[in-house]
Structure 1
Amino acid sequence: MIVVTTPTGNIGTQVLEKILNNGEPIRVIARDPSRLPASFRERVEVFQGSHGDSAIVNQAFAGADSVFWLVPPNMQAASLEAAYVNFTRPACDALKRHGVKRVVAVSALGRGWPRHAGFVSASLAMDDLISGTGVSFRALTMPSFMDNMLMQIESIKNQGMFFSPIDGDRKSPTCATRDIAAVAADLLLDASWSGQDSVPILGPEDLSFNDMAGIMTEVLGKLVRFQQIPFDAFKARLLGFGMSEAMAQGMVDMMAAKNEGMDNTVQRTPQSGSPTRFRQWCEDTLKPAVTH
């Protein structure tokens, strides 16, 4: 029995799609089951509610062998600890109570970074909480997602620009969510592993935002430029979008760490170098979104 959290989210949907045809019984925890494709709803057991809810996770984890764990975004959270660690506590209690064997979780690069790194530090604290249950655990540790570029789709489409406080010449790894889902699905379907470890997913290449702008220009057939913005202006934007002070500062602290090279601390290997190139992602995902 596999339990999938966030089954209607970007990564969770792709994980669910990849494991549906493998004969394993599957449960999902969804706040709004109507957002599941009808073809999915017919083939899974649905628990409606939040996976931060003790009653829900205790029901869903009973008899489960493996859990896919992803904390949903909560941009109005009062603190990073509330958003990541406190949200995960009921699940950790349920993991122990029901003897769940394996957990695969979406996390972040940054273990060993010497300074607070906002969302990343909170995510790693969540990993430590899960590890403390004694469950066999794989933390998928990622840099930034290519798919995050879709959050700026309107400015790319209408202004030919995208923005970040990170230096436009800093080359860093990025990965596609499709590759994260593929690694997660393989681990969920494999009953042979045990112990606790991190699994970096680093994409096939390091690119700067200026590199990305050049690739987007070529793929889209229109000029796209990158504009670095000050960190205070970046934070003001986040607050303007409705983020709480704590979450906006957490995002700023994470981006500052990335700007200092946090995502470059893990060396790419044949195992960690996931396949989707940024150019391919632009052709498959960004271009259809821009031209839609």
Structure 2
Amino acid sequence: MIVITAPTGNIGRHLLPLLLESAPGRGEVLRVIVRDPARLPDAVRESVEVVTGSHGDADAVDRAFEGADAVFWLVPPDASRSPRDAFSGFTGPAAKALVRHGVGHVVGVSALGRGTPVADRAGLVTASLALDDLIAGTGVAYRALANPSFFENLLEEAGSLREKGVFTDTVAADRRAPLVAVADIAAVAAGLLTERSWTGSDSVPVLGPRDLSPEDLARVMTEQLGRPVRYERQPLDELHTTLVGHGLHEAFVQGLVDMKRAKDEGLDAGVLRTSATASPTTFEEWCARTLRPAVLAG
């Protein structure tokens, strides 16, 4: 049995169909933890076991992990808590349930940066790496999907791209770094969850096909959207003031700012792209399939 957390999220909604496609032939039972089962497509609800609740809740994970062989673990974003509480605090009940029920394998969504000079001052990434240590410390076989930033983050800029032809971030315009599509992360997760011969604890980088800078992104979006797109670099102190002004937890905001600063200092640049760490979806393909419809929809 495989348990999937956050099944309606960006990665989960790609992961579930992949597992559902292969599960019948392997006699694999799928179980999901979800706050609102109505958000699952009807066909999915009919094909999986559903545990209703938050996977940060001790009772929900206790029910969900009973009889489980593997778990897909993703911590949902929570800007109302400190980074430590949002990652390790949220996962504490699940870590105990993994041990209690003897779960053998866990695949988690994490970040690049372990072993780099800035890993211990990278805010949200530092908290994510501590979460990996928490899960690995339970004794399960653990694979942390070490991801860079997602293409999908640009969907938050759809309105600005539509109205002004502008997107923003805090890194230097020429800073090249890996970027990845969430569908590719889901594909790697599906492979690990279905083929569970691996042991021990390790990270699995998912790097996309090539490094891109904001200038590169602007060029590709200009081509794909058929309109001029430019990049504006936002100062970190301005980002901090804006997010705190929106009511986000100040420690969480500082964690986000620290992560952004670390990325500009090369946090994501330490892993070699190989046939094993590259993933297939290009930014051009993603723009045509996902970003362009989102921008034009308005």
Deviation at 1:151?
Answer: 1.1
Q: Quote the residue 1:207 is aligned against.
A: 212
Q: Quote the residue 2:230 is aligned against.
A: 225
* Residues 239-275 of structure 1: CA deviation (Å, up to 9, x unaligned): 2443211111111000000000110011111100101
Q: Quote the residue 1:81 is aligned against.
A: 84
Deviates more, 1:30-39 or 1:236-245: 236-245
Q: Quote the residue 1:28 is aligned against.
A: 32
Determine which of 42, 49, 55 is the counterpart of 1:51.
55
Q: d(CA) in 1 for partners of 2:244 and 2:14? A: 30
Q: Is contact 1:209-1:226 (8 Å) kept?
A: yes
* Residues 104-129 of structure 1: CA deviation (Å, up to 9, x unaligned): 00000010233310110000000000
Q: Quote the residue 2:93 is aligned against.
A: 90
The alignment status of 1:72 with 2:76, answered yes or no, reads yes
Alignment length (residue pairs): 291
Segments of 4+ in structure 1 off by > 6 A? Answer: none
> SS of 1:122's equivalent?
helix
Q: d(CA) in 1 for partners of 2:6 and 2:240? A: 27
- Partner AA of 2:186 in structure 1: A
- Partner AA of 1:75 in structure 2: A
Determine which of 37, 43, 46 is the counterpart of 1:39.
43
* Residues 152-176 of structure 1: CA deviation (Å, up to 9, x unaligned): 1111111100001110110110000
The alignment status of 1:274 with 2:279, answered yes or no, reads yes
Q: Is contact 1:75-1:242 (8 Å) kept?
A: no
> SS of 1:125's equivalent?
helix
Q: Quote the residue 1:134 is aligned against.
A: 139
* Residues 204-235 of structure 1: CA deviation (Å, up to 9, x unaligned): 10110011001000000000100001111111
Q: d(CA) in 2 for partners of 1:208 and 1:16? A: 31
Q: Quote the residue 1:175 is aligned against.
A: 180
Q: Is contact 1:65-1:100 (8 Å) kept?
A: yes
TM-score after normalising by structure 2: 0.96
Determine which of 108, 113, 116 is the counterpart of 2:111.
108
CA RMSD of aligned residues (A): 0.9
Q: Is contact 1:164-1:234 (8 Å) kept?
A: no
Unaligned runs of 5+ in 2: none
Q: Quote the residue 2:262 is aligned against.
A: 257
